[in-house]
Amino acid sequence: MSWWDRTQSRLIFQSGIGFVYRQLFMHPPPIAAGTTLDGQTAIITGSNTGLGLEAARQLLQLNLSRLILAVRSRAKGAVAAEALRHEFPHAAQQIEVWLLDLEDPDSVSAFAAKCDQTLDRIDLVVLNAGVQNKDAVVSAQTGHEQTFQVNYLSTVMLAVLLLPVLKVKAGSVAGRPARLTVVTSTTAYFADFDHERPILPQFDADRYDVTKWYAREKLLQMMVVRRVAALVDPDQVIINTVCPGLVGETEIWRTLNTSAVLRYLFSAYFALFGRSLAEGASTYVHAVVVAGRESHGGFLSEWGVRP
């Protein structure tokens, strides 16, 4: 990360001029009129709520033909799917709820296998599911700290398992590359590690800190995507990362804004520095539909592609 990237991040996140900067310069690029996803199949993880659900809506608005909502709760997924079916009757028969629990590696591999075995084509994948916890939680299945398991280990595992499937399911069917976008965050710019010790064990061994862990996990996502992209032909699959910007109308803060006072402070903060849910989710659409080879391995930050 360059000095300028770091300075912009600090200005935007930590000072009052962030508000003006955001309003003037940080709107996601519009999606060109006439863009259509007719005939295409998309998968979005964590799509029962928040940015994932809104991204699903926006892809369906572009005439997406088939949508897989990859969620950990069948009940929540059913509610989201019903709302989408009601709003988009053209795809009603083709909006499906598939279970995926990123705390459980068996669920991740079963999900990838199901994609391989049952989908004729896969055009777009958005790995959006993520979690932020106020306090440390240990994942029962793996013994890893939960945010590390969900945001980093399982998200990367799913990306790696899906890549060979995507090569076959889009390229040969549609004659163009499949697209895989991992949702990360500009907070990665603030990540720091103890570089004297192996990095990954620090997530489980050290004292949990929500801000530090989240920034580190998001940075590692970007690094892995960058390395993996070097092994993937962008004529087969374009893989990138995207930050939706600061969006208050989601549930990511559910363990943090637990009192009326905190909720009030969070709302004031988002009103000043945040963007709308629709604007945030449109960054996903841009990353997975519009951005091309120039984004392969790169990070679609709030200021454009960082190769």
Among 46, 177, 297, 298, binds ligand NAP (CB under 6 A): 46
Contact between 105 and ligand NAP per CB under 6 A:
no
Stretch that binds ligand NAP, among 16-24, 117-125, 173-181, 246-254 (CB under 6 A): 246-254
Contact between 81 and ligand NAP per CB under 6 A:
no
Largest CA distance in the chain: 56
Dist CA 192 CA 87 (whole Å): 43
Query: Using an 8 Å Cβ cutoff, are 300 and 242 in contact?
Result: yes
Dist CA 302 CA 80 (whole Å): 28
Contact between 244 and ligand NAP per CB under 6 A:
yes
Stretch that binds ligand NAP, among 31-39, 43-51, 57-65, 201-209 (CB under 6 A): 43-51
Contact between 251 and ligand NAP per CB under 6 A:
yes
Beta bridge partners, 131, equal: none
Contact between 242 and ligand NAP per CB under 6 A:
no
Subset of residues 171 to 230 that bind ligand NAP, contact rule: CB under 6 A: 183, 185
Nearest-approach distance from CB 210 to ligand NAP, in angstroms:
12
Contact between 241 and ligand NAP per CB under 6 A:
no
115-148 residues labelled b (16+ CB within 10 A) or e (exposed)? bbeeeebbbbbbbbbbbbbeebbebeebebbbbb
Dihedral, CA of residue 67, residue 61, residue 166 and residue 118, to nearest 10 = 20
Question: Amino acid identity of 175?
Answer: G
Nearest-approach distance from CB 33 to ligand NAP, in angstroms:
27
- The CA-atom distances, in angstroms, between 83 and each of 49, 53, 78 are 11, 10, 9
Contact between 243 and ligand NAP per CB under 6 A:
yes
218 is catalytic: yes
* Smaller CB separation from ligand NAP, 263 or 293: 263
* Smaller CB separation from ligand NAP, 244 or 298: 244
Residue 292: how many other CB atoms lie within 10 Å? 12
Among 247, 285, 289, 300, binds ligand NAP (CB under 6 A): 247
Query: Residue 137: phi, psi to the nearest 5?
Result: -130, 140
* Smaller CB separation from ligand NAP, 247 or 288: 247
DSSP 171-225: IHHHSS-EEEEEE--GGGGG----TTS-SHHHHHHSPP-HHHHHHHHHHHHHHHH
Give the active site residue among 169, 208, 218, 284: 218
Contact between 50 and ligand NAP per CB under 6 A:
yes
Nearest-approach distance from CB 79 to ligand NAP, in angstroms:
10
Vertex 287 angle, CA 19 and 213, to 5°: 65
Nearest-approach distance from CB 29 to ligand NAP, in angstroms:
18
Contact between 300 and ligand NAP per CB under 6 A:
no
Burial of 204 (0-12, 13-18, 19+ CB in 10 A): middle
- Give residues in contact with ligand NAP (CB under 6 A): 46, 48-52, 71-73, 76, 100-103, 128-131, 150, 183, 185, 243-244, 246-247, 250-252
